[in-house]
Amino acid sequence: MIERNSNLDAEVFSGFIDLAAEKFGGKVLSCSDDFFAEKENLIKPGRGVFIADKYTEQGKWMDGWETRRKRVAGYDWCILKLGVPGIIYGVDIDTNHFLGNHPPYASIEGLYLEGDVSEEKLEKADWTEILPKSALKQGSQNIYAVASNTPWTHLRLNIFPDGGVARLKVFGLVHRNWVDTPKDEHIDLAAAENGGLVVACNDMFFGNKNNMIMPGRGINMGDGWETRRRRDLPGHDWSVVRLAQPGLVRKIEVDTNHYKGNFPDACFIDGCFAPGQEIESLNANSFDWQNILPQTKLKADNRHYFEKELTNAGPFTHIRLNIVPDGGISRFRVICKVVQQDEAVAMSGKNNAVKSPQRAGI
């Protein structure tokens, strides 16, 4: 259990999605001031960079959000819209490279408002504090757990009294209402924006596992899941995706966009029905994985679509993508028909598909 409102290490939240990230659809809407550095920098990738001799007409160029020195009472603030509504478990208020000009304190407030909302309405809204006024260190990741179990759509970062913040990361899980989903609609249940999550992988040395379920196509070779070169052959690498809802698999896409000399030679895909199952048991060879796609050759820098080749529709709650022997996957899509939990339980009992063969290297 994560202790809420405590200063933590970034690894605690490595299994969550950054709900505010620009590439996840997050937007910076308004702020009290961004004289020295634009508010939009807050949600860009990475931790921000420093260029010693770079200046603008306003002064020193900084890769973050920086306000002017406040000479009146009050504090500065910035309002963001999350990529999708989500439950927030932690935040990182990163003051990287802000030395002598960082805010000594910050707080965060949340709001749930669907659709497009005017800046005036947001500024006058009844915000709820989700992170109380907390101390910030200069040039550091300031990581705090959040004591809130309700979904939010917007955040307001308050800094006291002024200064610069390089990045704001918002660690959480997507919240989606599935009640009104049409029964015959086919949805990518692996997609992060729908609530899919990569819960485990054996390696992600060159590229984070969650990149492959992000929106859109990868922008470069760094925007995907990539493992190190495997030397203990035969063997293969793998990732386990927890689907947003139990689903019947209709189509799968494996995209090796930008991976040319380092794409996997082949892949095979398995699924299991394990609602509420712990991650550790999903990693085990002994778990009842059912084969969905037999081992299939892949091409460099190519979108691969599998439909007729699929041998088992499920229902499944988790999908395991196995790459042989190693390499990079830009995006992984699992198009499914959503199945209600009780219906999925009944169907899974009738599933007599062949168990996926045991293979070396898991």
- For the chain, what are the domain ranges? 10-174, 186-348
Number of residues that this document lists for the chain: 362
Low-confidence residues in the chain, pLDDT < 50: 1-5, 352-354, 357-362
Distance CA 309, CA 332 (A): 16
What integer pLDDT is reported at residue 10 of this predicted model?
A: 64
Transcribe 151-168 into DSSP letters.
EEEEEEEEEES--EE-EE
3-class DSSP assignment, residue 293: strand
What integer pLDDT is reported at residue 342 of this predicted model?
A: 72
What integer pLDDT is reported at residue 1 of this predicted model?
A: 38
What integer pLDDT is reported at residue 339 of this predicted model?
A: 86
3-class DSSP assignment, residue 345: helix
What integer pLDDT is reported at residue 233 of this predicted model?
A: 86
What integer pLDDT is reported at residue 286 of this predicted model?
A: 55
CATH of domain 10-174: 2.60.120.260
**Token reading at 256:** 């090796």
Strand-pair category, 316-324 with 237-255: antiparallel
CA 136, 137, 141, 145 dihedral sign is negative
Contacts with 156 (C-beta within 8 Å, 6 or more apart), sequence order: 77, 78, 79, 80, 108, 109, 110, 111, 127
Rounded to the nearest 5 degrees, what angle is found at the Cα of 268, between the Cα atoms of 251 and 254?
Answer: 45
Distance CA 189, CA 201 (A): 18
Q: With CA atoms as reference, report the closest residue to 155 among 144, 166, 170.
A: 170
- Residue found by looking up tokens 């991976």 in the block: 259
Instruction: Report whether the peptide linkage leading into residue 132 is cis, meaning its omega lies within 30 degrees of zero.
Output: no
Q: Which amino acid is at 261?
A: G
**Token reading at 192:** 């992060």
What integer pLDDT is reported at residue 50 of this predicted model?
A: 92
Tell me, yes or no, if the two domains 10-174 and 186-348 fold the same way. yes
Whole-angstrom CA distances from 294 to 73, 100, 309 are: 66, 58, 8
CB 197 within 8 A of CB 110: no
3-class DSSP assignment, residue 119: helix
CB atoms within 10 A of CB 128: 14
Q: With CA atoms as reference, report the closest residue to 170 among 21, 346, 325.
A: 21
Query: Regarding the domain delimited by 186-348, which CATH topology (the fold level of the hierarchy) does it fall under?
Result: Jelly Rolls (2.60.120)
